[in-house]
Amino acid sequence: MLRVAILDDYQQVALAMADWSRLGTDVEVVALPHHLGDVETAAAALAEFDVLVMMRERMPVPRALIERLPRLKYMIFTGSHNTVIDLAAAAERGIPISRTAMRASPSAAEITWALIMAWMRHIPQEHAAMRAGGWQTTVGMNLHGKTLGLLGLGTLGSVVARYGKAFDMNVIAWSPNLTPERAAAQGVTAVSREDLFRQADILSIHLKLGPRSTGVVGAAEFELMKPSALLVNTSRGPIVDEAAMLAALKQNRIGGAALDVFDQEPLPADHPLRKLDNVLLTPHLGYVTDESYKGFFASAVENIAAWRAGQPINLYEAGLRSA
């Protein structure tokens, strides 16, 4: 019997999102709803599995874990890239790793706008007040005429830019390789890094996480921002220096933050971000849609079936990076 573990199935929907029976009667598929937070816990839970199916980068798989999984033969993650698997350790064991097929999805750009709209019109507060019997407890703000600053104007940043233009916002952007010509082609004005932070009423992050982007928004950047500015992060938590962000929020140096991503996920129950009034939080919902999940898990089934036939698809190596 080949045993397949689906990790971090928080909503307990993975088994219904694809036809896992295609893998055959000699395959047992088990969905684990709880995050396995450390190597010791993960090693105990996964020791009897041959295949791991991972949702994006929810579950780190370092060398210490790989070495404690004697039956592990194959790993697959949903999405296009992964920075939390020790690829070199897997290669040494001869464990192939695949990624699922990816189609361009607007889901991350849409959650960005859900956060922005909820912040500008105080939707969470007004919803809570209505539930409690209240009526009109806050005064909102228009998007029209405000400046949307985009830290990154790639695939997702460009979609967010179009949404901003639809709201008649002034859209500006900066990234290390952005040219004025490429920005203008998107109807966006390229500005300097400093001016991006100085001018933005809403600063939305759309960079990929890597050595150059880790901590790129720190204390100096928060000092440049308007005291009324909103920071929006739907990309990756470590792009923002968490300590600097907490200090800026506690001291009201910026208006607030709307966050879908965090340094540690799931976010600990006692994390200080959960206690701040000037923060809007969602639990990394950017890619969590019915359409995305169905695509992810159907592709996972296809990958496992191909691997069993001796030919993995979408083989992922990425320089055999060590996590």
Average pLDDT over residues 15-20: 97
Residue 322 above 60 pLDDT? no
Tokens, residue 189: 């004005």
Count CB atoms within 10 A of the CB of residue 116: 25
pLDDT band for 316, please (50, 70, 90 cuts). Answer: confident
pLDDT at 91: 92
Tokens, residue 238: 């470590």
Q: Is 142 exposed, middle or buried (0-12, 13-18, 19+ CB in 10 A)?
A: exposed
In this structure, which amino acid lies at residue 309?
A
Average per-residue pLDDT for the chain: 94
- pTM of the full structure: 0.92
Average pLDDT over residues 163-192: 97
CA 235 vs. chain centroid, Å, equals 5
Q: Spell out the domains of the chain, with CATH numbers in brackets.
A: 2-104+289-320 (3.40.50.720), 107-281 (3.40.50.720)
**pLDDT > 90 in the chain, percent:** 88
Residues catalogued as catalytic = 236, 265, 284
pLDDT band for 159, please (50, 70, 90 cuts). Answer: very high
How do residues 212-258 score in pLDDT, each as one tens digit? 999 999 999 999 999 999 999 999 999 999 999 999 999 999 999 99
How do residues 36-59 score in pLDDT, each as one tens digit? 989 999 999 999 999 999 998 899
Q: Which of 257, 125, 128, 281 is nearest to 202 (CA)?
A: 257
Place of tokens 């952007």: 173
Dihedral of the alpha carbons of 25, 85, 13, 296, in degrees to the nearest 10: -80
How do residues 105-147 score in pLDDT, each as one tens digit? 788 999 999 999 999 999 999 999 999 999 999 999 999 999 9
170-174: strand order across its sheet: 189-190, 170-174, 147-151, 202-205, 230-233, 256-259, 279-281
pLDDT at 323: 46
SS (H, E, C) the chain: CEEEEECCCCCCCHHHCCCHHHHCCCEEEEECCCCCCCHHHHHHHHCCCCEEEECCCCCCECHHHHCCCCCCCEEEECCCCCCCECHHHHHHCCCCEEECCCCCCCHHHHHHHHHHHHHHCCHHHHHHHHHCCCCCCCCCCCCCCCEEEEECCCHHHHHHHHHHHHCCCEEEEECCCCCHHHHHHCCCEECCHHHHHHHCCEEEECCCCCCCCCCCECHHHHHHCCCCCEEEECCCHHHECHHHHHHHHHCCCCCEEEECCCCCCCCCCCCHHHHCCCEEECCCCCCCCHHHHHHHHHHHHHHHHHHHCCCCCCECCHHHCCC
Residue 273 above 80 pLDDT? yes
